[in-house]
């Protein structure tokens, strides 16, 4: 024992402080997943606040319940599957917040709880958690709920009891069933400023645009997807409008109504279910925009954004096969 | 240090260190009481008996533990051998650490001076391999490579390190002599000196073409120099030597010049010391000086769980002990506070695509990493271009999930190499 100790003392390296040995690189550019989540939530705030202003405490209630149950579902799933607790990354809270922005203010509590269950457990966790979901969890949840409880997403019926300062008819319903005559009654500025029926946080065009531009500038979402999505909507709606102006609403109307803007900036850009290469991103976004207007104008559903996003999620892995040639690749 | 900007539309640029117009004087650290030299070890488990404890050595003396093999170290000091012990390095490399107690008077070894009259490749590789800058003689001399071009790197491949720039700007005379000798012994006439961006001027008749590269990382990495300056893309899995191009550090060429000018083997290593507060100094020290001695000279304290790095912040390696000696290729020592260094996590890839956009080799890193995490190295190599990687580490640097992607890539290459070797031996 004494000898061993002596040997240790003779070799000062064994007595010295521990250094951390890690692999290169030793620097990091800074951002973390939590930062992305919280800044995306921040970007969503302007649109959400106008929703609170229009629909009052019920909207606040839906948002709070949605965020908290989303976090709880994630925590429960972590505990049940005995995996690392991941609520700290903010992704569950973000999904909860965005879910609240998509639904009407009067959504019953049980629908909010089931909705966040679909978002977190079915949309995200059973695929393996963050980064592994093939579909945007929000689009999946809203689509499942639209199919299962059709009345919940009938904005005209859901918001019937509100006395608002603007026309209380869901613009896309007006456009789909009554042609362009009622559509012309909507002023584009009013639509842009959020004076229209819709989800709690999905009607305020200016707020969503500000949030989207913030996210693009910070590099949290990819401009290629958002921009081509909007371009796809605009051009397709323009062509339809050109062919039959009496039946199909104009392109600006389609840009400012329904889920178009929230879809372009917050749903289609979701990391896991979207491509990362330049050309695939362009195709992905544009195809989403085209599908949106196709469903709206000649499909069975009033708003096509949710279903269009599910369709482009489906082709995203295939699109990402279009990739640049790696350096020095031997063909 | 090198954080992402608030407006993050374009990827973060890692700028190379820029030296002031008036070059700072390199600070000399006196020789410590004892130094350690790492001599490559062969598979033999017994310690060789060529050199024993108590043997006297002179400055510049060649110490070779295995007479039948061309491994050696050059003693940078005069003194007596105080110990020989096995030492393990990265990736399973093993060494014998020779500790030499520095004596009072310095006497110079004359073996090189006697033979330097007619410079040959053999002379260079038997005396000048353990000189500052670590010249790659074996690559240059190997007839299979058929080296046609020598690229002298006057710019460090990593940011924060300024050693090569300092030497390229301050040791012009030795550099010129070194280039001359290099041409003479190798017969290669096409020599290119790489510098940072605008500073192509001021080299006059140095005997080499001077070319500038972009001042952002990773443009001084060999594969990028090959692509941008020489216009040749290194095929995946091949090396620059396979294309007949050999890379020399500018310090290696300067060492050659100095050796033939003075007749003495250079033993002083120039390096950049980056302290915890981010300030850096150009330092000159004897090869074999322990890191602890250098940090001690500047009163730099290292705390528990800090990191001490040899080489640059992107491609260097972390030390586990402060007793590690300065080696001929140690271009920098970086001390990183535990709060400033990057940590990795076990989070999965979230598919944000930052790595794909920053990758200079245009690899599909987000897909590659999924296969590497699942140990599917062969599939990764076939489908997702593992061998195109130029090992710059930018993917790990930007990864939001903080996946150690670079480490996965190195591990995959290492494992594939290991799997290949026994197969080749059987065949």
What would the pLDDT profile of A38-81 be if each residue is shown by its tens digit? Answer: 999 999 999 999 999 999 999 999 999 999 999 999 999 999 99
- Which pLDDT does position B423 carry in this prediction? 65
Over 60: is that where the pLDDT of A1 sits?
A: no
Over 70: is that where the pLDDT of A194 sits?
A: yes
pTM of structure: 0.91
How many beta-carbon pairs below 8 A join chains A and B? 195
Q: DSSP for B25-63?
A: PPEEPPP-SEEEEEEE--S--SPPSSS-TT-EE-BT-EE
- Which pLDDT does position A14 carry in this prediction? 47
- Which pLDDT does position B142 carry in this prediction? 83
Domain boundaries A33-316, corresponding CATH code: 1.10.3430
ipTM: 0.88
Query: With contacts defined as CB-CB under 8 Å, which chain A residues touch B352?
Result: 36, 271, 276
Tens of pLDDT, residue by residue over B334-345, are: 999 988 888 898
Tens of pLDDT, residue by residue over B115-144, are: 888 888 888 888 998 999 989 998 888 888
- In terms of Cα–Cα distance, which of B333, B159, B277, B332 is closest to A29? B159
Calculate the alpha carbon distances from B202 to B34, B171, B257, B284 in Å: 40, 12, 19, 24
CATH class of B267-336: alpha beta
Crossing angle of helices A137-148 and A109-117, in 10° steps, is 130
- Domain boundaries along the sequence of chain A: 33-316
Chain A, nearest residue to B338 by Cα: A20
Per-residue confidence band for A8, with pLDDT thresholds at 50, 70 and 90: very low
Contact check, Cβ <8 Å, B402/A28: yes
Per-residue confidence band for B400, with pLDDT thresholds at 50, 70 and 90: very high
| Minimal C-alpha gap between A197 and chain B (Å) | 33
> In chain B, how long is the greatest CA-to-CA distance?
64
The structural architecture, per CATH, of the domain B113-262 is 3-Layer(aba) Sandwich (3.40)
C-alpha A172 chain-centroid distance: 20
> Beta strands B149-153 and B190-196: pairing type?
parallel
- Which pLDDT does position A88 carry in this prediction? 92
The helix (H) or strand (E) run that includes residue B98 is strand B94-102
- Which pLDDT does position B34 carry in this prediction? 92
| Minimal C-alpha gap between B263 and chain A (Å) | 37
What value does the mean pLDDT take over residues B67-76? 86
Tens of pLDDT, residue by residue over A202-219, are: 999 999 999 999 999 999
Over 90: is that where the pLDDT of B69 sits?
A: no
Instruction: For chain B, give the mean pLDDT.
Output: 89
Q: DSSP for B387-426?
A: GG-----HHHHH-TT---HHHHHHHHHHHHHHHHHHHHHH
Tens of pLDDT, residue by residue over B276-312, are: 998 999 999 999 999 999 999 998 888 888 999 999 9
User: CB of B17 within 8 A of CB of B160?
Assistant: yes
- Which pLDDT does position A146 carry in this prediction? 92
Residue B406 contacts A, CB cutoff 8 Å:
yes
Contact check, Cβ <8 Å, B388/A271: no
- Which pLDDT does position A203 carry in this prediction? 92
- Which pLDDT does position A144 carry in this prediction? 95
| Minimal C-alpha gap between B185 and chain A (Å) | 32
Tens of pLDDT, residue by residue over B368-379, are: 999 999 999 999
What value does the mean pLDDT take over residues B182-188? 89
Report the alpha-carbon distance of residue B426 to residue B261 in Å, rounded: 49
- Which pLDDT does position A317 carry in this prediction? 92
Tens of pLDDT, residue by residue over B253-274, are: 999 999 999 889 999 999 999 9
Over 60: is that where the pLDDT of A163 sits?
A: yes
């Amino acid at each position: 024992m004494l000898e061993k100790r002596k040997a240790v003392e003779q070799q000062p390296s064994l007595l010295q402080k521990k250094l951390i040995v890690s692999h290169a690189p030793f620097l990091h550019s800074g951002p973390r997943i939590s930062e992305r989540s919280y800044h995306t939530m921040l970007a969503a705030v302007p649109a959400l606040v106008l929703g609170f202003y229009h629909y009052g405490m019920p909207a606040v209630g839906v948002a709070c319940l949605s965020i908290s149950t989303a976090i709880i579902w994630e925590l429960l799933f972590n505990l049940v599957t005995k995996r690392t607790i991941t609520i700290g990354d903010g992704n569950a809270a973000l999904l909860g917040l965005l879910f609240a922005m998509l639904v009407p203010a009067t959504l019953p509590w049980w629908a909010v709880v089931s909705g966040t269950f679909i978002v977190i457990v079915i949309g995200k966790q059973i695929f393996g958690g963050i980064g592994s979901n093939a579909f945007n969890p929000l689009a999946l949840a809203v689509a499942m709920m639209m199919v299962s409880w059709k009345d919940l997403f009938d904005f005209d019926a859901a918001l019937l009891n509100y006395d608002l300062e603007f026309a209380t008819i869901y613009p896309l319903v007006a456009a789909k069933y009554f042609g362009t005559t009622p559509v012309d009654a909507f002023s584009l500025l009013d639509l842009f400023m959020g004076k229209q029926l819709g989800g709690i946080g999905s009607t305020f065009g200016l707020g969503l645009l500000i949030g989207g531009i913030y996210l693009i500038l910070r590099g949290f979402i990819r401009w290629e997807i958002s921009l081509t999505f909007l371009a796809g909507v605009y051009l397709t709606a323009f062509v339809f409008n050109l062919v039959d102006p009496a039946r199909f609403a104009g392109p600006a109307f389609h840009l400012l109504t329904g889920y178009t803007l929230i879809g372009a900036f917050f749903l289609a850009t979701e990391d896991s279910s979207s491509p990362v290469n330049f050309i695939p991103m362009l195709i992905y976004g544009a195809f989403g925009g085209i599908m949106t207007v196709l469903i709206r104008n000649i499909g069975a559903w009033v708003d096509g954004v949710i279903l269009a996003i599910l369709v482009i999620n489906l082709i995203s892995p295939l699109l990402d096969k279009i990739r640049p040639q790696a350096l020095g690749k031997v063909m | 240090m090198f954080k992402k900007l608030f407006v993050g539309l374009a990827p973060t640029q890692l700028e190379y260190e820029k030296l002031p117009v008036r070059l700072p004087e390199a600070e000399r650290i006196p020789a410590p009481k004892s130094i350690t030299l790492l001599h490559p070890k062969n598979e033999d488990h017994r310690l060789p008996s060529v050199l024993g404890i108590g043997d006297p050595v002179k400055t510049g003396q060649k110490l070779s533990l295995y007479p039948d093999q061309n491994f050696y170290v050059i003693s940078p000091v005069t003194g007596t051998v105080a110990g020989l012990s096995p030492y393990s390095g990265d990736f399973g490399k093993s060494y014998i650490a020779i500790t030499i107690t520095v004596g009072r008077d310095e006497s110079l070894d004359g073996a090189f001076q006697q033979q330097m009259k007619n410079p040959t490749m053999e002379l260079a590789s038997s005396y000048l391999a353990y000189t500052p800058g670590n010249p790659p003689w074996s690559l240059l001399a190997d007839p299979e490579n058929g080296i046609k071009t020598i690229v002298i790197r006057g710019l460090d491949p990593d940011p924060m390190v300024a050693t090569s720039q300092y030497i390229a700007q301050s040791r012009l005379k030795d550099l010129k002599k070194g280039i001359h000798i290099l041409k003479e012994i190798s017969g290669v006439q096409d020599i290119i000196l790489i510098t940072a961006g605008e500073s192509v001027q001021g080299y006059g008749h140095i005997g080499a073409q001077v070319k500038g590269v972009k001042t952002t990382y990773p443009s001084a990495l060999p594969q990028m120099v090959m692509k941008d300056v020489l216009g040749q893309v290194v095929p995946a899995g091949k090396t620059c030597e396979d294309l007949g191009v050999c890379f020399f550090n500018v310090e290696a060429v300067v060492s050659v010049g100095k050796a033939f000018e003075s007749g003495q083997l250079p033993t002083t290593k120039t390096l950049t010391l980056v302290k915890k507060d981010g300030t850096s100094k150009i330092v000159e020290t004897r090869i074999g000086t322990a890191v602890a001695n250098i940090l001690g000279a500047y009163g730099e304290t290292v705390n528990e769980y800090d990191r001490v790095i040899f080489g640059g912040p992107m491609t260097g390696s972390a030390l586990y002990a402060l007793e590690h000696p300065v080696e001929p290729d140690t271009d920098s020592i970086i001390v990183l506070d535990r709060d400033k260094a990057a940590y990795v996590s076990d989070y999965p890839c979230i598919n944000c695509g930052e790595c794909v956009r920053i990758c200079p080799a245009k690899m599909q890193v987000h897909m590659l990493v999924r296969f590497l995490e699942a140990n599917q190295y062969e599939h990764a190599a076939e489908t997702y271009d593992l061998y195109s990687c130029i090992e710059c580490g930018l993917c790990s640097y930007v990864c939001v999930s903080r996946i150690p992607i670079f480490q996965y890539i190195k591990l995959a290459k290492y494992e594939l190499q290991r799997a290949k070797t026994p197969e080749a031996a059987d065949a």
